[in-house]
Amino acid sequence: MRHALTAALLATSMFSLPTAAHAQAMTAEEAAELRAELAALKAKVQTLETRLDTATAPPAPAPAPVATPAPPSVTAKPATEISWKGAPEIKTADGWSFKPRGRIQLDVAGIDAPAGVTGIRGGTATEFRRVYLGVDGKIPGGFSYRVEADIANSTVELTDIYLTYGTGPLSVTAGQIKPFWSLEDMTSDLFTSFTERAAFTQAFGFERRVGLSAQYKGKALLLQAGVFGDNAAELTDSNHSLSVDGRVVFMPKLGNAQLHLAASGHYRDPNDPAATNRYRARPFVHTTDVRLVDTGLLDISSERGLGLEGAVIAGPFHAAGEAYWQTVKRSTAADPTFFGGYAEVGMVLTGGDVRGYKDGAFDRLKPSKPINAGGIGAIEVNARYDYLDLNDAGIVGGQQKTALIGIVWAPIDYIRITANYGKLWLDDARVATATGDRSYSADTFGLRTQIDF
């Protein structure tokens, strides 16, 4: 580019020079002027070449970057995940979790019995059957926990309070839980077929107790056993009760059908020579405290229980049945054996829905088309025959036979409405009619609105 510029300037100068003819007549003065012009032109060319060289010179290399020392390393906190299972559940990558839990059950229930049986404690009533509040979660290292209480009707009753350790099929639990008695009792009250459990679970004193237990859970086998004291509310200095409870559950899948076969055993020693116990049950409604079958107080040196369970879930159909024998050892009289049991069938009417089952107990009825997705939820109908016999060895506590029919509607997973009607037939009832009759019938009904999280 520089040479082209020089050539252009020289060409321009050449065109500006006088012609040869004129050069022959050039005077000495004109020649001097021409030499001066050429010298000035040469100086301009040199100046332009210098400027051009400066403009096209390669840029100076950038200074090398100075290394900045790295900040001290900081251990990153584990990521936190929040999911929703009726309530927020918080989990961390290192194994912590925390979830609030609870349930509200509002019942409207009543009993229609002959005159003189229930008096002012009968009829229709409303109550908060249960109001549970608590938390549960996991702790790194294989631990899990639950703390829960029932605050219904302005009282506080401790329910599940325990710490469990287990990283595989075997786990150990310390605290207050349900001993291992019965399919009906091990099934949460959130998922029972009717508003109240089978009569024998009430009569034989099935309740949570404080103790130490272990469980083995395989694919089709569940083993449960524990040593227990008494319910947390009854643990006083004078209470030395000790019980041993165990349960074996065989729960294979046969194609699409879930099978449940189980047996349980119970032994309790009150460790008190003056101990007494009472075996009785409400008439399938909790809004009355009248027990139509009742042994009264019996002296007791120990008690033994044996239970058998069977159930099957095949598509929308399920069937279940239990039998339980409770033998009371007495030091001053013959030893009675009381009996209770039930047989039940049920059907889920909404297509694609089935009754839930998990770890040896019935579980949640989950609608495949809940109302928030344009469906009607899940609907289940159930029928049951329940039997309780508290007559034996000279004890006349009465017999109660009950036919129940009920319907369950779950519009979404965590809301459930249950309605049921029961017809009771009583013989040798503890409570007589106004005319003195101890064999009569009664009608009960219950309606429950429930939410859990």
Does one domain contain both 158 and 42?
no
Does one domain contain both 163 and 275?
yes
- How, if at all, do strands 356-358 and 337-348 pair? unpaired
- Residue 169 confidence (pLDDT) above 60: yes
Residue 41, φ and ψ in degrees, nearest 5: -65, -40
Residue type at position 295:
T
Q: What is the pLDDT of residue 18?
A: 47
- pTM here is 0.81
| Confidence class for position 59, pLDDT limits 50, 70, 90 | low
Does one domain contain both 196 and 115?
yes
178/283 Cα distance (integer angstroms): 23
Residue 408: strand pairing partners: 380, 418
Does one domain contain both 195 and 113?
yes
| Confidence class for position 5, pLDDT limits 50, 70, 90 | very low
Rg of the chain on CA atoms, in Å: 45
Q: Tell me what the mean pLDDT of segment 143-168 comes to.
A: 96
Q: Tell me what the mean pLDDT of segment 18-37 comes to.
A: 62
Does one domain contain both 201 and 274?
yes
Does one domain contain both 51 and 106?
no
Specify whether the CB–CB gap between 102 and 132 falls below 8 A. yes
Q: Tell me what the mean pLDDT of segment 249-276 comes to.
A: 96
Interhelix angle 2-16/28-55, rounded to 10 degrees, is 160
Does one domain contain both 18 and 114?
no
- Which domain range does residue 32 map to? 2-55
| Confidence class for position 15, pLDDT limits 50, 70, 90 | very low
Q: What is the pLDDT of residue 42?
A: 74
Q: Tell me what the mean pLDDT of segment 181-200 comes to.
A: 98
399/396 Cα distance (integer angstroms): 9
Count how many domains the chain has: 2
16 domain residue, yes or no: yes
Q: Could you tell me which residues come within 8 angstroms of residue 260 by beta carbon, excluding any fewer than 6 positions away?
A: 183, 249, 250, 251, 309, 310, 311, 312, 313, 320, 357, 360
Q: Tell me what the mean pLDDT of segment 319-343 comes to.
A: 97
Q: Tell me what the mean pLDDT of segment 149-173 comes to.
A: 96
Picking from 22-36, 300-314, 387-401, which range would have the lowest pLDDT averaged per residue?
A: 22-36
